[in-house]
Amino acid sequence: MRIRSVRAYLKNLALTKPYTIAYQITSDVENVFLEIELDNGLIGIGAANPSPDVVGESPEQALQNLQSEWALGLIGKDIRLFVSLIEQVHEQFPNAPGTWAALDIALHDAFGQYLGIPIVAFYGQKIHALPTSVTIGIMNVADTLAEADDYFRQGFRVLKVKTGLDVDEDIERMLKLREWHRHSVKIRVDANQGYSLADLQKFCRATAELDVELIEQPLPVGQEHELLALSPSIRQTLAADESLKGPEAALTLTNRPQPFGIYNIKLMKCGGIRSALKMATIAEPAGISLFWGCNDESRVSISAALHAAFACSHTRYIDLDGSFDLAEDVVGGGFVVEDGYMRPTGGNGLGLTKR
């Protein structure tokens, strides 16, 4: 089955509520989309929202790549050779994970539809449902508790709290949140590189009895070696995020003693499903658990991450709430959320429905 057409475009997706993290306030997100149509009329769709600060590529740059002569040269290619096509885009556009991700996801979706099976089934489904965390931005204690209550009423029982601006205020928020909800919710923390080692040690001491499930990227990229000053039990709860951009970093971070016990894999950092599964393969024999995350993204790429996550037996956590606060999207379907648990729809490819 041949590729009939390729179309890429940008769409700015507004958020229903802006949020704050350690280094910025976000109120809308720009995603690049790629549609690959086959000769039989099936359309695979991919999407990307790369962060220039993290990976050095913007959605606009990804769009330019996906509208290039090389991308148009995909027309006439056999969809059954999708793995080879993904390898070729890496060679053509080095250091462009947003470009890779959009093409990788679109080709997977088209290929799965062509086969008539979900992508997670193609790779071998190991997990059928997991609770996703939902994100609380940096805000005062009262607003933190109010947002936690709102999520609780919606059925979510795993909260990821953004921290990293003021460690003392972060500690107070954790103490009040655990006091307010006792043991009815799981708490995760994402410092977004906002702590020094001293801050992190202070935070860990003050929250030791609060059953914080994990702490994501506490120190800036390049300071991973400082984490070795912490006990192995604490390091097991630390998740690499910005430090973990692709398979090469995944391999480096397996060196013992390991600074992180958890890998947060994001398709927007590593370049799509194929790269993500390479990272997952590296992590497994090293005893590193998988935590699948996202940016503010369309259901397209969130669904792709979910399919990849559920094809890995060592996936322990998901944080795939990136489309929940979008005021609009270009697709529906892809996944179902029930009482905070996410699962794929079971539809062919990524199970998406065009709006």
- pLDDT of the residue at 286: 98
Bridge-based pairing of strands 43-48 and 24-38 is: antiparallel
Beta-carbon contacts of 141 under 8 Å, excluding residues fewer than 6 positions away, are 169, 172, 173, 176
Beta-carbon contacts of 34 under 8 Å, excluding residues fewer than 6 positions away, are 6, 7, 8, 45, 46, 47, 66, 102, 103, 105, 106
* Residue-wise pLDDT tens digits, 139-195: 999 999 999 999 999 999 999 999 999 999 999 999 999 999 888 999 999 999 999
- pLDDT of the residue at 23: 53
Exposure pattern of 189-211 as b/e (b: 16+ CB <10 Å)? bbbbbbbeeebbbbbbebbeeee
Residue 79 has pLDDT above 70, yes or no: yes
* Residue-wise pLDDT tens digits, 242-280: 999 999 999 999 999 999 999 999 999 999 999 999 999
14 contacts 28 by C-beta, under 8 angstroms = yes
Q: Rg of the Cα trace of the chain?
A: 20
Cα 224 to Cα 161, 229, 242: the distances in Å are: 21, 10, 11
Residue 224 has pLDDT above 70, yes or no: yes
Which listed CATH number (3.40.50.1970, 3.90.230.10, 3.30.420.40, 3.20.20.120) goes with 121-354?
3.20.20.120
Domain boundaries defined on the chain? 3-116, 121-354
- pLDDT of the residue at 73: 97
What is the 8-class DSSP label of residue 129? -
Residue 216 has pLDDT above 80, yes or no: yes
Just give the CATH number of 3-116. 3.30.390.10
Higher pLDDT, 181 or 132: 132
* Residue-wise pLDDT tens digits, 3-44: 999 999 999 988 887 666 555 666 778 999 999 999 999 999
Kindly provide the residue ranges of all beta strands, DSSP E only, lying in the chain, ordered along the sequence: 3-21, 24-38, 43-48, 130-131, 134-136, 158-162, 186-190, 212-216, 238-240, 262-265, 289-292, 315-318, 331-333, 335-338, 341-344, 352-354
Higher pLDDT, 222 or 355: 222
* Residue-wise pLDDT tens digits, 294-339: 988 999 999 999 999 999 999 999 999 999 989 899 999 999 999 9
- pLDDT of the residue at 18: 67
353 contacts 330 by C-beta, under 8 angstroms = no
Residue 342 has pLDDT above 80, yes or no: yes
Task: For residue 115, name the pLDDT band (cuts at 50, 70, 90).
Answer: very high
Percent of the chain topping pLDDT 90 = 90
- pLDDT of the residue at 27: 72
Task: For residue 354, name the pLDDT band (cuts at 50, 70, 90).
Answer: confident
Count helices and strands in the chain by DSSP H and E runs: 14, 16
